[in-house]
Amino acid sequence: MTKLRLAIVGAGPAGIYAADILLKAERQFDVSIDLFEQLPAPYGLVRYGVAPDHPRIKGVITALREVLDRGDIRIFGNVNFGTDITLDDLKQHYHAVIFATGAIRDADLDVPGIDAHGSYGAADFVSWVDGHPDVPREWPLEAESVAVIGNGNVALDITRMLAKHADDLLPTEVPDNVYQGLKASPVTDVHVFGRRGPAQVKFTPLELRELGELRDVDMVVYDEDFDYDEASKAAIETNKQVKVIDRVLQQWRTRPSVNNAGGEASRRLHLHFWAKPLEVVTDDEGRVAAIRYERTKPDAEAGVVGTGEIREIPIQAIYRAVGYFGSRLKDVPFDERHGVIPNHEGQVISADSNSRVPGLYATGWIKRGPVGLIGHTKSDAMETVRHLINDQGQWWQPAHPEEEAIPALLAERGVRWTDLDGWHRLDEHEMALGAPHERARIKVVPRDEMIAISRGE
């Protein structure tokens, strides 16, 4: 029977699903899979990119845990691709590699002043809220009035975390340093800006509805944003999701807080539609002082056009939530414009010659860009795995495919890698920390501490 030694770089949903699909589907090969992850713990953005007050989304971890706990996939955590292990190393020890490294940095927002002091990326903030070991433990929450740019679910996550009272996060797995930081925040107003109208937003009804359920937070929407054009009316009539979103927003319009009239909460959440950011206004010290934007209106081609009406709202901090972007991997082709590994249905192609690169594959967001939900990741992985199987004649011919070669190589380089048993130790430790407080877990944040617990040191 043919032996397939496969490396997968990235132990988030994309990488774990790819491994699971291959092991379940393939019967003509003896398959051996090693997962490499730069963090000491698995699950990627499900652990470090989903707000802590969304436990049902984190329920995806249960399915991923079942895959890993079967014991037929090895995991090497705290291993950095490009330094701890290289592409040349993988060619020596495997027949092929699937890159599933996702998209973890913020896409750029090209407006003047966006780099001012007090301007932040959503991805960095979410990483802090989720206790990512590679971001600072403290976050500067000094602003009373904050702007969030974007009309997707990540923008709503940021908005909810900023507006929500910290005590309401205590039943979740929010790290203690995050709880303390949010509790001390002086925020009173969070302004959310989207270039298009209420019928064109990208967030889901569930995310939107949750905003309106926040304790002691008034929802502020503006009547001028609801003068729908024919395209918006058609979207509401024909799309169930858009219809539900409109229903939620229309209910908010009847609240006493609407248009700033009569709300009694200590915090306000403003939704500004038809608002295109033009400039982040700064003070004499280069700090965020206001956001300047132009009112937009629908054009005839499902887009927007500026009206020439310029407005300005005083703020002291701004968060851009306009999408994620992939990162370049050493010696691997990369599309700088789209932030992905160039590929055809998961088969990596050269960025220069557009020809196939044997042995290299991609899946997940690093393959298709940061779009789609968890379900898309499974079908994405199926496509990539199908090509990998059919490409058998183009696999690498590794000189040292022995499974024991990888632990020996990492040990020789002094890499303190973590394995599945180590993840179980860390997992149990975090749950034990949370138990006295009736919480699911309290995350261990410092990387060295994560590694020491995982390795039983």
Q: What is the pLDDT of residue 272?
A: 97
Q: What is the pLDDT of residue 347?
A: 96
Q: What is the pLDDT of residue 50?
A: 84
Residue 297 lies in a domain: yes
Q: Which residue has better confidence, 255 or 289?
A: 289
Question: How many domains does one find in the chain?
Answer: 2
Which residues partner with 31 through β-bridges?
4
Please give the mean pLDDT across all residues of the chain: 92
State the pLDDT confidence band at 52, using cuts at 50, 70 and 90: confident
State whether 12 and 51 are in the same domain.
yes
Q: What is the pLDDT of residue 58?
A: 67
Q: What is the pLDDT of residue 257?
A: 58
Q: What is the pLDDT of residue 105?
A: 83
Q: What is the pLDDT of residue 106?
A: 83
Q: Which residue has better confidence, 119 or 1?
A: 119
What domain range is 123 assigned to? 108-320
State whether 114 and 202 are in the same domain.
yes
State whether 91 and 119 are in the same domain.
no
State whether 168 and 223 are in the same domain.
yes
Rounded mean pLDDT, 166-176: 90
Rounded mean pLDDT, 26-54: 89
State whether 39 and 143 are in the same domain.
no
Angle at 370 between CA 280 and CA 12, to 5 degrees: 120
State whether 299 and 339 are in the same domain.
no
Q: What is the pLDDT of residue 456?
A: 94
pLDDT in tens, 325-364: 899 999 999 999 889 999 999 999 997 778 999 999 999 9
State the pLDDT confidence band at 379, using cuts at 50, 70 and 90: confident
> Is the pLDDT score of 259 beyond 60?
no
- What's the chain's Rg over C-alpha atoms? 24
SS3 (DSSP) at 283: coil
Read off the DSSP letter of residue 442. Answer: -
State whether 15 and 164 are in the same domain.
no
Residue 127 lies in a domain: yes
Residue 442 lies in a domain: no
Q: What is the pLDDT of residue 263?
A: 67
Which burial class, exposed, middle or buried, applies to 63 when counting CB atoms under 10 A from its CB (0-12, 13-18, 19+)? middle
> Is the pLDDT score of 287 beyond 80?
yes
What's the CATH code of the domain at 304? 3.50.50.60
Q: What is the pLDDT of residue 226?
A: 94
Residue 446 lies in a domain: no
Residue 433 lies in a domain: no
pLDDT in tens, 291-312: 999 999 988 777 899 999 999 9
User: In this structure, which long-range contacts are made by residues 333-341, counting pairs with CB atoms below 8 Å and at least 24 apart in sequence?
Assistant: 333/357, 333/360, 338/369, 339/103, 339/107, 339/369, 339/370, 340/103, 340/365, 340/366, 340/367, 340/368, 340/369, 341/99, 341/366, 341/367
Task: Give the lowest-confidence range in 252-266, 283-297, 346-360, 377-391.
Answer: 252-266
Q: What is the pLDDT of residue 262?
A: 53
The sheet carrying 29-36 orders its strands as 73-76, 29-36, 2-9, 96-99, 356-362, 347-349, 343-344
SS3 (DSSP) at 180: helix
State the pLDDT confidence band at 181, using cuts at 50, 70 and 90: very high
Which burial class, exposed, middle or buried, applies to 344 when counting CB atoms under 10 A from its CB (0-12, 13-18, 19+)? exposed
Q: What is the pLDDT of residue 191?
A: 97
Place of tokens 């300005």: 312
Q: What is the pLDDT of residue 178?
A: 94
Give the domain-ending residue among 320, 348, 364. Answer: 320
State whether 364 and 302 are in the same domain.
no
Q: What is the pLDDT of residue 190?
A: 97
Residue 56 lies in a domain: yes
Asked whether 388 and 362 are in contact (CB, 8 A), the reply is no
Rounded mean pLDDT, 271-286: 96
State whether 252 and 395 are in the same domain.
no
Rounded mean pLDDT, 425-437: 94
Task: Give the lowest-confidence range in 222-226, 286-290, 338-342, 371-375.
Answer: 371-375
> What is the percent of the chain where pLDDT is above 90?
74
Residue 432 lies in a domain: no
What's the CATH code of the domain at 9? 3.40.50.720
State whether 312 and 360 are in the same domain.
no
State whether 359 and 379 are in the same domain.
yes
Q: What is the pLDDT of residue 439?
A: 85
> Is the pLDDT score of 323 beyond 90?
no
> Is the pLDDT score of 109 beyond 90?
no
State whether 276 and 393 are in the same domain.
no
